[in-house]
C-alpha cells in the first residue's frame, strides 16, 4: 500500500457496536469527571502505529475534542500525503490528518479500534488526528518524567516525555501547538 493510501474499518456487527457505544459512553463520562477534578493530572492517551514504528501520546483534556469512529474521508487534491482530506461531522467539515505519516512512520495502521481525535472547539481549528488506538486516561503523576529523551527536531508541538512502569515512552502532544505549526498549516504540495 502506498503511503498516501488509507484503509478504513468495516462496519462492526451489532453486538460490537453495543460494546463500542458502552466503551465510548464510559470514556466520555471519565473524561468529564477528569476535566472537573483539579487535583488529578489526567491526560487522554493514544497510540499511532505505522510500518516504521509506533508512538504513544498524551493530550491535555482541554485540548481534546471528540473521539470519533473513522468517518468517510474525502481526499483533497494537491495536498501533502499526511493530509487525508475532509470529513463531514454533524454538518461541520473537519480536516483529518495522519499524524503517523506526518511523523514519518508511514501510513497509520487502521482497524476497528482506530479513531479520529478531534481538536477542542476552544482551539478554533476544525481538525482531527487519525489514531490507531485510544488508550483511555493516564495520570502523569504516576509516570516518570524522562529527562534523557531528546527534543524532537521540527516538532515544537511535542512537550515533555514520560515513561510508565513498563518503560513505555509517552510524549506530550500539544494540539494547540500543532494547529499553529507552519509545517502543519502548509497542506498544499505546490
Specify the residue for cell string 485540548.
Answer: 63
- Residues constituting the chain: 190
Q: Which of 189, 127, 190 is nearest to 157 (CA)?
A: 127
pLDDT in tens, the chain (190 residues): 444 444 444 444 555 667 777 777 777 776 666 555 544 689 999 999 999 999 999 999 999 999 999 999 999 999 999 999 999 998 999 999 999 998 889 999 999 999 999 999 999 989 999 999 999 999 999 999 988 866 666 678 899 999 999 999 999 999 999 998 888 889 998 7
Hey, where are the domains in the chain?
14-185
Interstrand relation of 127-131 and 144-145 (parallel, antiparallel or unpaired): unpaired
Architecture of domain 14-185: Beta Barrel (2.40)
Q: How far is CA 123 from the centre of its chain?
A: 15
CB 170 within 8 A of CB 58: yes
> What residues contact residue 4 under an 8 Å CB cut-off, 6+ apart?
81, 101, 107
For 168, the 3-state DSSP assignment is: coil
pTM for the full predicted model: 0.76
Amino acid at each position: 500500500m502506498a503511503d498516501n493510501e488509507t484503509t478504513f474499518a468495516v462496519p462492526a456487527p451489532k453486538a460490537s457496536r453495543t460494546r463500542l457505544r458502552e466503551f465510548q459512553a464510559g470514556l466520555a463520562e471519565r473524561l468529564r469527571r477528569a476535566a472537573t477534578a483539579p487535583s488529578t493530572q489526567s491526560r487522554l492517551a493514544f497510540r499511532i502505529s505505522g510500518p516504521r514504528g509506533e508512538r504513544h501520546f498524551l493530550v491535555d483534556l482541554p485540548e481534546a475534542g471528540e473521539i470519533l469512529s473513522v468517518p468517510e474521508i474525502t481526499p483533497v487534491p494537491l495536498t501533502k500525503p499526511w493530509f487525508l482530506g475532509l470529513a463531514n461531522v454533524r454538518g461541520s467539515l473537519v480536516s483529518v490528518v495522519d499524524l503517523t505519516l506526518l511523523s514519518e512512520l508511514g501510513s497509520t495502521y487502521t482497524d476497528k479500534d482506530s479513531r479520529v481525535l478531534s481538536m477542542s472547539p476552544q482551539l478554533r481549528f476544525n481538525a482531527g488526528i487519525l489514531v490507531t488506538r485510544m488508550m483511555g486516561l493516564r495520570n502523569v503523576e504516576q509516570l516518570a518524567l524522562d529527562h534523557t529523551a531528546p527534543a524532537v527536531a521540527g516538532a515544537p508541538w511535542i512537550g515533555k516525555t514520560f515513561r510508565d512502569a513498563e518503560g513505555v515512552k509517552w510524549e506530550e502532544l500539544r494540539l494547540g501547538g500543532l494547529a499553529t505549526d507552519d509545517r502543519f498549516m502548509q497542506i498544499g504540495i505546490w
